[in-house]
Structure 1
């Protein structure tokens, strides 16, 4: 073999056979942190876990306190733990029931049923299984979408409905851009670009990318959507990463987004305005929250926390508890 042939062969081998394989898994930074529900619930005085068979699934919830029932529903990518800072205060006057909605946390993650009308049925059956005919309904993020569907489909079972930062998807969601209006700056407050709405629609691929690496994916949201960056501790982040680190956890959460088309169709069948007492507490999403609630609810009560981002129950727990408590007690007095 000539010298030129040897050089050519070496170049080809160098191109097709790199010396070192790429490292794609960055490991678990939260290894060793106890994020079990047993440990978390034990930290909340007088609260305990429960399970109920509802609408074909086994649903997990954490309950405590006495008084009129208040159902708390978190959103993506969190669990019932999102309310841990406000639950003890609310339990002073209410029976607090923080739920892992369908596809979340310790609740079952079936293949389907993630349209918000069906998820509202989950909650309606849960309330009935606990011996109540109605409850105050409180939602955040995806939980807010379920709360709206609950109020629209079960008005007689809705003592009141409250939304934290977002309510439900407006019909304009159908027209969302896949390309931003201008080049992104990297600052989400300036670039309100909901790229993950499309990403979470993809079937099968997100599970492969995110499994075992949920902390990498989620840290973008904590850093972008929190105004108070230290509102979530390392332990909080560990809880949420653990909940969405498996194929089932990722698929269950994405199911909420993949049902949006059905959710928007269902909304067209709901009353133009709902008349039960309603409260909206806005942070980052305040403008959209106000627009939706003034259009869909009669005489909504609206509050704004301008120094809080999206996760207001963690960024401003004292203010959220104050607004919620005053509202809930005013409704109970009626």
Structure 2
């Protein structure tokens, strides 16, 4: 006969063991715990640069600046911060005043409840340029930052000395028709699938914050594995910096705000001039074909360069090429 204590113990085990097993499969410890990812520590690695804040367009914007000369504004994208440009900032600062920003919703910049349409974010940057004492600047954007740069050139062309897009320009109107179901079963390799699933996921209210908080390194790992061609371009420290920036509900919500504004962005683009005359450069890796398509359609005499064997994060995968192409381009613009 089975004893009563044994039955009680078995019942408790039945309740506890599934919970313990679940904890083992869902508890994803941050592998970067203990790594110093503070902006102060990062800036100390860039001699001659300092971090500052500016009150612009109703928000407090964080930026890192250094060097002297004509102003060059660097705007990163998702899921990164100003640190995305750390490999090219020292070289650019030899001849320019370099300002790498955390755009609205990113890093140490405010993350308000709205204003994530790229037209408003471009106004953030225009006011930052004025705050710095300039009437115009060269604009360099990557990913979401490129979308802000495009909106800036369209809305404030008098303040755009030039615009450079790194792997992405603006979202084309065809973004409205993106598939929710891929044309064939996914292989697990983005270069073969080109399925932009996160465009939809990042637009869902509240759910991403609940799922990703404390686990941004897991989400980011997929992107580093799929969109980096040169896998060693990001160090463990770099990955830790970006994970920390998107590990909190506010950080996740701020970044997702850029995607949630896409419908407004596409509507705004319909009001922009068909062709923009701002001197333009595109430097493409993985996104080169789409870069060509948009720039040739929307800019007069665009200059477009392709970096074979480079993925999406061109400033980190091929910094020497980006420095060479960007400095030569800006030099030609200023010589004219």
TM-score range, shorter chain: over 0.9
Given candidates 35, 47, 64, the residue that maps to 1:45 is 47
1:99 to 98, 101, 115: 101
Q: Are positions 1:236 and 2:238 aligned together? A: yes
**2:168 corresponding residue in structure 1:** 166
Deviation at 1:45, TM superposition (A): 1.2
Q: Helix, strand or coil for the counterpart of 1:177?
A: coil
Distance in 1 between residues matched to 2:63 and 2:301, nearest whole Å: 31
17-26 vs 272-281, which moves further: 17-26
Contact 1:140 1:166 in 2 (8 A): yes
Paired with 2:140 and 2:171, the residues of 1 have a C-alpha distance of: 16
Q: Relative to structure 2, which stretch is displaced further, 271-280 or 13-22? A: 13-22
CA contact (8 A) 1:162 1:278 kept: yes
Match of 1:4 in 2: none
Instruction: Report the Cα distance in structure 2 between the residues aligned to 1:185 and 1:61, rounded to whole angstroms.
Output: 40
Distance apart, 1:14 and its partner CA: 4.7
- How far 1:276 sits from its partner (Å)? 1.2
Does the residue aligned with 1:52 lie in a helix, a strand or coil? strand
3-state DSSP of counterpart to 1:245: coil
Deviation at 1:21, TM superposition (A): 4.7
Q: Which position in structure 2 is the counterpart of 1:327?
A: 329
**Structure 2 match to 1:248:** 250
Q: Does 1:68 align with 2:77?
A: no
Distance in structure 2 (CA, Å) of the matches to 1:80 and 1:14: 50
Q: Which residue number in structure 2 is paired with residue 258 of structure 1?
A: 260
Q: Write the distance in 1 (CA, Å) between the matches of 2:88 and 2:207.
A: 36
* CA distance in structure 2 between the aligned counterparts of 1:301 and 1:19, rounded to whole angstroms: 58
2:189 paired residue number? 187
Alpha-carbon distance between aligned partners in 2 of 1:238 and 1:129, rounded to the nearest angstrom: 31
Q: Is the 8 A contact 1:25 1:213 kept in 2?
A: no
Aligned to 2:316: 314
* 1:188-214 deviations in Å (ceiling 9; x for gaps): 111100000000010001001000111
Q: Which residue of 2 aligns with 1:18?
A: 18
User: What CA distance in whole angstroms lies between the structure 2 residues aligned with 1:266 and 1:136?
Assistant: 23
Alpha-carbon shift at residue 18 of structure 1 (Å): 3.0
Give the aligned partner of residue 205 of structure 2.
Answer: 203
- Alignment match, 2:276: 274
Choose from 207, 224, 227 the match for 1:225. 227
- 2:307 is the counterpart of 1:305: yes
Q: Which has the higher helix share?
A: 2
Match of residue 291 from structure 1 = 293
Question: How many aligned positions are there?
Answer: 330
Whole-angstrom CA distance in 2 between matches of 1:325 and 1:309: 21
Q: More deviation in 258-267 or 181-190?
A: 181-190
The residue number in structure 1 matching 2:4 is none
| TM-score, L = length of structure 1 | 0.95
Contact 1:49 / 1:60 at 8 angstroms: preserved in 2?
A: yes
* Deviation of 1:222 (Å): 0.4
Indicate how the Cα distance of structure 1 residues 19 and 95 shifts in structure 2: closer, same or farther if over 3 A, else same.
closer
C-alpha distance in 1, partners of 2:262/2:313? 21
TM-score norm. by structure 2 comes to 0.95
For residues 278 and 193 of structure 1, the distance between their equivalents in structure 2, rounded to whole angstroms, comes to 28
Q: Is the 8 A contact 1:62 1:99 kept in 2?
A: yes
Tell me, which stretches of 5 or more residues in structure 2 are unaligned?
A: 2-6
